[in-house]
A and B are shown apart, each in its own frame.
Chain A
Amino acid sequence: MANERTHVQITNGSSGTMGQLTDNEQAWIEFIRVISGGRDPRVTPARVRALRELLDAG
């Protein structure tokens, strides 16, 4: 299922389901859940910058 991808539906409330994600995307989200202690961290400019730097570094 590696690269199988569908869009994630975004609504005012909850968004989509993990069933719509690739295995790799599920791994990213599950790791974020674990390290954030389930606090559902917001997307902030500083965090996005850090994510981009991380991905740019390979």
Chain B
Amino acid sequence: MTNPYQNTATARLITDRIRDLSHRKTQAEIASEAGFGNANMMTFLKNGKNKVPLDRVPSLAKALEVDPAYLMRLALDQSVGATAAKAITDIFGTPTTENESGWLIELRDASDNSDPRITARSRAALRGVFGK
């Protein structure tokens, strides 16, 4: 298999971010910011030839201007597979993004720290809030 990580969520995210940032920085600049010696690495990540090295997640997230927790979740899935990633996150916890922490703060504040359950009605309302 030439491109084992083709069309993974990680590869799609990287492709999208490189395109979104293209008016400000080149792919080679992103590779350099992320600490990749080989500028072709971004192409390999986009087309799924290579997976994201987990130790590069912080610098790559910064270069791509995405939340590192979000990229780590996707990269972990890509790196060890969904089952192993779930085992890891079951034990250590899933990293939450800055936006998710914002939602938790709002949820706690709005509920007076009552730790509300998510009900069927809540789910329906949230679908409306997030447009789906």
Contacts and interface: CB of A to CB of B under 8 A. Distances in A.
B47 to A, nearest CB: 21
A34 to B, nearest CB: 9
Please report whether the interface of chain B is mostly helix, strand, loop or mixed according to DSSP.
helix
A41 B58 CA distance: 20
B24 interface: no
B96 A50 contact: no
B96 A35 contact: no
Contacts of B99: 40-43
B34 interface: no
Given A13-B58, A29-B96, A47-B129, 8 more contacts: A14-B97, A16-B101, A28-B107, A35-B127, A43-B106, A50-B125, A51-B106, A54-B122
